[in-house]
Structure 1
Amino acid sequence: MPRFAANLSLLYNEHAFLERFTAAAQDGFEAVEFLFPYAFEAKELRLRLDDNGLVQVLFNAPPGDWEAGERGLACIADRENEFKSNFLHALAYAEVLNCPRIHVMAGRAPGHTTPESLKDTYQRNVAWAAEQARPAGRDVLIEPINTRDMPGYFLNYQSQAHDIVTQIGASNLKVQMDLYHCQIMEGDVTTKIRQYLPTGRVGHFQIAGVPLRHEPNTGELNDRHVFDVIDEVSAACGWQGWIGCEYRPAHGTRAGLGWLNKAV
């Protein structure tokens, strides 16, 4: 079966953030991910991982001013210095957490720019980030996000992300394939898994039920079939990554883990 990582930004909100590591380990998770670690010292997070026998598989680089609605800086031309400073900050956290993957959010497209200029800025920043991350053995991930949840976001489609990764050509630049966003924007999820996973460009999966973003066994996707396809294709191509559980529990995290118990 695929390996599942608990997203501690969305799961276990019954607990204070630093207590979520223990809760996840108690429920059988061996790995965690989260959005942003920067409210806590990296050494404190490392201690929580070690105390609970967990590995950190993913987190996001700083996205700009989240409270003001910013969702990344990578496509914004006049914020490149800030983008670079933020990414180096993320690399320092990844070193302490021994985290192999950093997600770089693209950002919302400013209204005064053209798609061509946005793409140029985005590719330049993402290529720079991959170059910085390579000596430390880190992957930089980019993720298509649906326009319903995040209007104006620059990166929306799997083909768009894979084209950018191919054009840049960095071996440590990969796509974060969130099947929730993929289903909303494109559908045909398992066909896309079969298409893209063997390319070596998929660095990570994430899952949630569609359309309400609750447990993956709720909604319109057949989670059991999706996991079987990931297993089948992974066995054929040697993929050994993780699936991040990035959903909002409908009635408490532990009460909704029946899908996981069946999957593993």
Structure 2
Amino acid sequence: MDKLNEYFQIALDKVVFFLPKIIAAALILWIGFKIVKKLVNWVGKLLQKAGFSESLRPFLTSTVSVLLKGTVLFIIATIIGADLTGLIAILAAAGFAIGMALQGSLGNFASGILILTLKPYKVGDWIQLEDKFGRVQEIGIFSTDVLTPGNKILIIPNSMVTDSVVTNYSEKGMIRLELTVTMPYEESFPKVREIILEALSDIPRILRDPAPEIGILNFESHNIELIVRPFVIPDDFWEVTFAANKAIKNAFNQYQVKVAYSEGVEMGLIGE
């Protein structure tokens, strides 16, 4: 019976010692999470006013929410009297190991934050990255999805974007085509220039302002190479490219502008 009373007294002492702390922890948890919710909503509105994209805002608000809730739980654990030294050491070691394992992903993640913040391009823009060209379909935290003119989706890691030169064809609302045409040395450049301008004027999607540019690019062994630069809106890039080449060829045929090419074909044997 004495032993039972001793155990009861120990339990009562523990309850008396921990009950105020538990009540305080519960109050802090309830009030803290209420405050965190209001702060997260305020941060979300602040990010929206600052012009952060819809792709980045949910991620940032979620990150803020997790950090603030973690802080509240840390305070509660301290009030209860839990020893967090070992837990902190474990979390630090785990964070280091995860960071080393996800080096590439973390680089893409950091690049994604930069892209969504600085906005070098947006969804719907036509961009070129090295030899990759297409229209931006989606900007994610880790990668950017680009739809090519061949209807293929390119998933480009964001770190590749921040480490390379990106050409944004949609930034100014129009782009300049770079078409090359050849003419013989004996032909008059002003005449050929007028023929090409007349051919381009029949293509409605070519912008009239600024006017197309036509000039001599190179002097080759058999031809003079001309550069033809009409301006179009980005969405008409390929359509106008094909239409312009077709119109120029038809105009050369109509005005009998000659070009140099080999008519003979040499036949040879194929060995084993």
Q: Which has the higher contact order (CA 8 A, sep 6+)?
A: 1
- Which protein is bigger by CA-based radius of gyration? 2
Give the structure-1-normalised TM-score: 0.18
Larger helix proportion of the pair: 2
Q: TM-score, normalised by structure 2?
A: 0.18
